Structure 1
Amino acid sequence: MDVSDAELTVEVTGPVATVTIHNPARRNAMTAAMWRQLPELLDHLEPDPDVRALVLTGAGDAFCAGADLGDLAELLDAGDTSIAVAAEERLASFAKPTVASIRGACVGGGAQLAVACDLRIAADDARFGVPPARLGLVYPAPTTRRLSRLVGPSAAKHLLFTAELIDAQRALRIGLVDEVLPGDRLVARVDDLTATIAQRSPLSVAAAKEIIDDRAGPARIAWWHRKVATTGEPREGVAAVTERRQPRFAWRPTDG
């Protein structure tokens, strides 16, 4: 493999940033360099006031086939402090909504990244798997807990105990993905979804994400309610509904 072909690329179109996993020789498997690169990209994108949502996807016909096995020893030695877990945690803590756009293989480290996103939209050819039991490995504890919260303990155990691949429809039934569409409609649906999110109040969305992810204690929740009272966002929202126009929400997470 030419390691120069393995990279994460970023494209910002309007209010949406798209991070693409690109490693064609390995079905977009994540190399050590790519795991290290992801938090850096997110650190750059998060404070950008023009970015309102982020899409994570894979190049070509796969999302991500996992961690590149050539880097497996480094990941195993680090356990739950590995660069893969650090990348996953940074993605999960990204302050703005994140959407995984999934086609083809979404396995191992790919599932790890997809589960760390807020929403997952899949093409009907997507396949999902969590293979540590096939390899004699222990899936990272933060990843295991996040998967269990998403699909429930029983479905998480089935995925982890069997290491079987499941199709997109089963992933939809257990809550691993939010929508399944024909492959030729995936990009348009993700574009529509992120455009809708970008039109909503960033204050409302940011508060909801923190609260749902259990990262907002009583003091932080009170802080959010004070922002509602002082930023004028509700006045703008009501005015937009009354005037039958798109709202012009002015608050951004960088405003504090």
Structure 2
Amino acid sequence: MSLITTEIRDRVGILTLNDPDHRNAITLAMNDEIGAVLDDWEADDGIGALVLTGAGRGFCAGADLNDLMAGSNAAEMKAIYDGFLRIAHTPLPTVGAVNGAAVGAGMNMVLACDIAIAGRDYAKFDSRFLQIGIHPGGGHTWRLRSIANRSTTMAMVVFSQVLRADRA
């Protein structure tokens, strides 16, 4: 099973994180698939925009920590960070269609998009990094601060406040 699915509708590439049994947690293999799709779509004049979403009820539960910890060095963590940056730097306009929880690195995926649309009943944004004892990497605090005020950023990053769609 592919960890992502793709579809093209009316010049819009729809990339769906497709591991709902694991709440679409980002693995190194998933990151590689995302990069390959972006390479193809950026070279295709028939694609004018990208929508990023998740299969099932969750957008993305963050990085698969078991996958990251299986590696022997920081290269695995850098590869996950490079995935967010790949989305942030694509020349395609990007929309994060947040259909459920965007947690940790999953929130970084949303922050890498040009705009986010949050499903009112299910979407929530959860930094959670410090709560599980890891740093908020991947430019998380900087990207969040670029769209939210200081108080909201600090509440989310330092105190693990969850932001629901109606407040986002």
Query: TM over 0.5, yes or no?
Result: yes
Which residue does 1:234 correspond to in 2? none
Letter aligned with residue 142 of structure 1: G
Residue number among 58, 61, 64 corresponding to 2:54 in the alignment: 58
Which residue does 1:140 correspond to in 2? 137
Which of 110-119 and 142-151 deviates more? 142-151
**Pair member with larger Rg:** 1
Q: Which runs of 5+ in 2 are unaligned?
A: none
Q: Percent identity?
A: 35
Q: Cα gap change, 1:105/1:141 in structure 2, threshold over 3 Å: closer, same or farther?
A: closer
Distance 2:8 2:87 in 1: 17
Q: Which runs of 5+ in 1 are unaligned?
A: 172-256
Residue 128 of structure 2 corresponds to residue 131 of structure 1: yes
Letter aligned with residue 129 of structure 2: P
Which residue does 1:83 correspond to in 2? 79
Is 2:108–2:138's contact at 8 Å kept on the other side of the alignment? Answer: no
Is 1:75–1:82's contact at 8 Å kept on the other side of the alignment? Answer: no
Distance 1:139 1:120 in 2: 20
Distance 1:23 1:58 in 2: 8
Which residue does 1:157 correspond to in 2? 154
Q: Cα gap change, 1:86/1:167 in structure 2, threshold over 3 Å: closer, same or farther?
A: same
Which residue does 1:170 correspond to in 2? 167
Residue number among 23, 38, 43 corresponding to 2:19 in the alignment: 23
How far the C-alpha of 1:74 sits from its partner, in A, is 5.6
- Structure 1 segment 1-256 matched on structure 2, within 5 A: 4=1, 7-73=3-69, 77-78=73-74, 82-124=78-120, 125-140=122-137, 142-171=139-168
Q: Cα gap change, 1:51/1:141 in structure 2, threshold over 3 Å: closer, same or farther?
A: closer
Distance 1:153 1:81 in 2: 27
- 1:13-33 per-residue CA deviation (whole Å, 9 max, x = no partner) reads 121000000112111111221
How far the C-alpha of 1:85 sits from its partner, in A, is 0.8
Query: Which stretches of structure 1, 4 residues or longer, exceed 3 Å deviation after superposition?
Result: 74-77
Is 2:23–2:61's contact at 8 Å kept on the other side of the alignment? Answer: yes
Q: Size of the alignment, in residue pairs?
A: 167
How far the C-alpha of 1:121 sits from its partner, in A, is 0.5
- 1:121-156 per-residue CA deviation (whole Å, 9 max, x = no partner) reads 011121110011111111115232111112133321
How far the C-alpha of 1:164 sits from its partner, in A, is 2.8
Is 2:28–2:76's contact at 8 Å kept on the other side of the alignment? Answer: no
TM-score (norm 2): 0.90
Q: Cα gap change, 1:159/1:81 in structure 2, threshold over 3 Å: closer, same or farther?
A: same
More strand by share: 2
Is 2:52–2:95's contact at 8 Å kept on the other side of the alignment? Answer: yes
Letter aligned with residue 126 of structure 1: A
**Higher normalized contact order (CA 8 Å, seq sep 6+, divided by chain length):** 2
Is 1:52–1:97's contact at 8 Å kept on the other side of the alignment? Answer: yes
How far the C-alpha of 1:75 sits from its partner, in A, is 7.8
